[in-house]
Amino acid sequence: MTVPAGTRLGPYEIVDKLGEGGMGEVFRGRDTRLGREVAIKFLAVKLHLDAHGLARFEREARAASGLNHPNIVTVHDIGALEGRPYIVMELIRGESLRERLAAGALPARELLDLAIQIAEALAKAHAAGIVHRDLKPENVMITPDGLAKVVDFGLAKLGVALGEAIPSSMSTAETRIESASDVAVSMPGTLLGTLGYMAPEQIRTSSVDFRADQFALGAILYEMATGLRAFNGTTRSEIVTAILASEPPSILAVSPGFPPPARWLVERCLEKNPGRRYASTVDLARELRTVRDHLDETTSAAASSGVEPPPPSPRPGRRKLLVSASVAVLIGIGAFAAPAVRYLVRPPIPDEKQVVVLPFRNTDGDPQQQVLCDGLIETLTSGLTQLERFHGSYWVVPASEVRQAGAESVREARKVLGATLAVTGSVQRDGDRLRLTANLVDAGSLRQLRAISFDTALDHFTEIQDSLVRRVGEMLELEIGSEEERLLDAGRTASSAAYEAYLQGRGHLLDYQSATSLGEAVAHFQEALQRDPEYALAYAGLGEAYWRQYELDRDPAIIELAQRACERAALLNDLLAPVHVTLGIVHRGTGEPEKALEDLQKALRLDPGNALALRETGRTLEQLGSKEEAEETYRRAIELRPSSWSGHNLLGSFFYKNGRYEEAAEEFRRSPRSLPTIRAASTTSAACCSSSAATMGRGRRSSAR
């Protein structure tokens, strides 16, 4: 149905037609009351609405009209003509982002300016609970003065509400379908979207949230940076395959001058797993603004010096040589001011990464919140530890050593634990939302190197589970491949309530010398299993809690509970090395060293760099009388963790028990970074060993005489 010029829609009069596309027609109109031009968009819903349908249309449209933001096209009014809905909005004079992209990639500064405006528009909508669902270059208008305006907010949801998915959105300029990726799709059980910009979860399911818009923005930013579609093809199936299983060509390869921090930001938006995108679109907008501000500082410094900045570096984990060269050039010629250096190289990460995760600050002061906070740190430390075997010169101080050291500051972590890097942070709960921040600090200079934040609803609490270790790994410049991903995902849960209960259990388990805390730990792990009976990590925690209870009161009945819980965890997921370590400890502690050795060897097959498994294997071999193998195993554990006091103490004790007193004394003297109390004990032990060695020596000389 074409609406003729002169048609009156209440106070609005149709002037002429601007264009049409798959979703309907757009007309230039005039507001006769205010004497202003407007755009009137008729939606392509091929049915006449009854009273109920019109009421639903009004509810959805009014929600979108409430988005008062300079980067969102203002909706003035809504209505229906002969059952066909229309929306009256401001008329934007300018061009669409699609038209701007016809000339190719955009300069970085212009790209970032537009990206910030689009992200802030999305953040405003997401805060109001509205997801665009069909973000693409056609739906971004650019005024002559560079103001970006996002159009068609909520129209996707309107189409679904009216019983028919709108096949394609349209700006106030004519919409052109240029390739298969421009074709909108509407499949049973899925939300609509334009195929080349749809998030994987949009293709797979109708359950999407604000992170689908982040993916679409990532695809748009990729196109702005390279001039190429992120996901393209000649058929729909080719595009779907690309979105679900492929990565677009590297921005670095296509546009080597594109700023690296902006490139990493785009790559994060294009993560297949929505949990690895931004926990808040506000954070995305903030990071875009930070990148742009640093780019401005760099440009200003370069202009004042008359020297062109060096080319950007490759991916974070592989950029150290180029970064070092860039710094050398900057120092040698004195060309750049400090802000420029900060942008080009970012604060450097030490080559030797001895990482300690310190207790996070509980900003609420709630004791129950503190337990959850402690559990979160325990799981973060465990996850980071799993990455050790994939990265040289990187290891994580065990949480047990951090607790025994009593290290709460970065300075203390450096002094008593030998840390070169520390992860600090805070947790704040606000009603049904949780905000978490994490900082990476150079333990030598006490300088903050990186920072991240999460803001998530408690019913999406598993977002933190899915992304915290990965985000901290990114701060540490660790490239996480498919094998690491497989390990990090092992044994997890999809239930936010189960995950929260699990963290509470881990937090209580830290105080394993308290019967009350252990009882709380058991109760929370059991609650997690009620929420998710297939939660392997919760079974592992339950097994450890039961074993700690046995160590306190020596009730034989608890041993079977510990074994059953660990065995159930292993049955659910056989990739959990810590489960087999716990089983090994249980079997060794109950006089079954052969079974213990089997468990520990399985743990080492899963994780050859597991120092705890090696130390427990050494103790088990001692119990079996295999002294040479035990010594070799202890030495391997020390090679893995040369600064860990526990490895040196175990080997020292082994030497002492076998009459090798001088060697024992030497081992106790080692580990200069060990805890003060342990060091004092080691000094005493060393003195005793030396005295014993001297006494034994005198006895042997007397016998000889």
Catalytic residues: 134
Single-letter amino acid, residue 4: P
Hey, which bits of 267-420 come out as E strands?
353-357, 361-362, 394-396
Alpha helices per DSSP H over 532-644: 536-553, 556-572, 577-589, 593-606, 611-623, 627-640
Tokens 């900057």 map to which residue? 330
Contact 191, 156 (CB under 8 A): yes
Closest by Cα among 459, 470, 465 to 492: 465
- What CA–CA distances, in Å, run from 538 to 75, 493, 546? 50, 9, 12
Hey, which residues does 140 pair with through a beta bridge? 150
Quote the distance between the C-alpha of residue 358 and its chain's center.
19
Positive or negative torsion for Cα 452, 453, 456, 460:
positive
Q: What are phi and psi of 36, to 5 degrees?
A: -120, 155
Pair type for strands 84-90 and 36-43: antiparallel
Cβ-proximal residues to 219 (8 Å cutoff; 6+ apart), any chain: 196, 197, 229, 230, 231, 270
CA angle 365, 369, 373 (to 5 degrees): 105
The Cα-based distances of 532 to 214, 376, 382, 494, 498 in angstroms read: 30, 19, 21, 8, 6
Checking DSSP bridges between strand 184-185 and strand 193-194, what pairing results, if any? antiparallel
Burial of 620 (0-12, 13-18, 19+ CB in 10 A): buried
Rounded to whole angstroms, the Cα distance separating 46 from 687 reads 92
List the structure tokens of 35. 């004497």
Q: Measuring CA to CA, which residue among 613, 555, 561 is closest to residue 588?
A: 613
**DSSP of 647-700, one letter per residue?**
HHHHHHHHHHHTT-HHHHHHHHH--TTS-HHHHHHHHHHHHHHHHHHHHHHHHH
> Are 473 and 387 a contacting pair, CB within 8 Å?
yes
Q: For residues 427 and 436, is the Cβ–Cβ distance under 8 A?
A: yes
Closest to 390 in 3D by CA, of 271, 473, 466: 473
The CA distance from 42 to 27, in Å, is 8
Amino acid at 508: H
Length of the chain: 705
Coil, strand or helix at 375: helix
Give SS3 for 103.
Answer: coil
Question: What single letter denotes the amino acid at residue 33?
Answer: R
